[in-house]
Chain A
Amino acid sequence: MRSAVILGATLVFSLPAFGSELWLHIRSENHDSRSNRVVINLPVKALQKALPLIPRDVSRNCELRINESSISPRELRAVVEQLRVAPSGTEVSLRPDGRELHVRRDGDVLEVSGTSDWNGGLDGSVKVPFDLAEALLGGDGDLDFRAAVELLVRRGTGEIMLVSREDQTVRIWVDPIASAPLRNGRVAP
């Protein structure tokens, strides 16, 4: 009994500490001949502190863009509401800007994809955990980044977003590792 209480207390007190050490990683890679690459690593807690200080216009003017089409938070919120109660595998089609987009729920993942006949054959898809999409779209108007980051801290390590295009991949994830393995123990080249 005593060891169970100690174990429980350890877990309760270690959870916030674990959350505070999480790092958000963004990696964008182009697969063309120039092989461009962008890597961003930031502590999740730093994001939590910075979010309330970010200009309001940023969250107000956010929209999801796939290829040349965009979906407003309001449009996506309505679709997510529809998919929440629908069985896994359900797909909803949208036609923002006259181009067709498919929003699909596969288990715990929300996928937004374009059709392959767009834009000269280029197609793309965005995958996000369904609960993260719900948190982000939880408010009435703007995207709720604060709720999304709080969810990330609670969830801990895991994938956040995978954007796939023919020529580019963007992966966003959270883990407790600050950055890629250091060279000779140092981060500087």
Chain B
Amino acid sequence: MKGLLKFVLLVALIFTILVGTAAYGVHRLFFNKGVVSVHVAEKGRYGERVFVFLPAGLVNAALAIAPLASVDFEVHDPAVHEWLPAVQAVLTELEHYEDAVLLEVDDGGETFRLVREDGNLRLFVDSHDATVRVTIPPGTVHAAVRAFNRL
């Protein structure tokens, strides 16, 4: 009986170590770069709510290997590509500054706000139909710019 207890304890210990190591590895790999979140809330009594929460490390890895060439975005426009180095320079420099509202557009009741907060870029849209909140860690912004540069 004593031997069986020892065996069970050993198995539990090994299991705990394996699960702990795996959890730590996943955290190191994906979550230590922050979290990308998207929150959409439709207005009105029966408005839908969508909340997407993704580890930034996973998004960065996806952006690095995603076949973006097949996506028909405005980024295919050469003018957009010409501006990317300047955008990247501004984003890199912003990492050294305090939290601030970078851009705010108020168009007759509809508001768009781009802010830097807690090191992340945050986007807020408040329209007549819905509110949208997007949080992007700086590493993911750079990964997105690099991905567009590959196109």
Q: Show the binding face of A for B, using Cβ within 8 Å.
A: 23, 34-43, 45-47, 49-51, 53-55, 178-180, 182, 186-189
Contact = CB atoms under 8 A, between A and B. Distances in A.
Contact of B102 (A41, A47, A53, A182): A41
B93 A34 contact: no
Contact of A40 (B99, B102, B124): B102
13 contacts: A34-B107, A36-B108, A37-B104, A41-B100, A41-B103, A42-B102, A43-B94, A46-B93, A46-B94, A50-B87, A55-B83, A182-B99, A188-B117
A141 B143 CA distance: 37
Given A23-B100, A50-B90, 20 more contacts: A34-B107, A36-B107, A36-B108, A38-B104, A39-B105, A41-B103, A42-B90, A46-B89, A46-B97, A49-B92, A49-B93, A51-B86, A54-B83, A55-B79, A55-B83, A180-B101, A187-B115, A187-B116, A187-B117, A188-B117
A interface secondary structure, majority: mixed
B113 interface: yes
Contacts of B83: 54-55
Contact of B126 (A46, A55, A189): A189
Given A37-B105, A188-B122, A179 B89 contact: no
Nearest to A38: B105
B98 A178 contact: yes
B132 to A, nearest CB: 12
Interface residues of B, number: 31
A54 B88 CA distance: 11
Nearest to A21: B97
Nearest to B108: A34
B82 interface: yes
Contacts of A45: 93
B106 interface: yes
B100 A178 contact: yes
Contact of A189 (B89, B102, B108, B124): B124
A49 B97 CA distance: 14
A189 B90 contact: no
10 pairs of A and B residues whose beta carbons are closest in the complex: A34-B108, A178-B100, A46-B93, A53-B85, A50-B86, A179-B101, A55-B82, A53-B86, A39-B104, A187-B115
A46 B100 CA distance: 14
Contacts of B98: 178
A36 B104 CA distance: 11
Nearest to A44: B93
Contacts of B82: 55
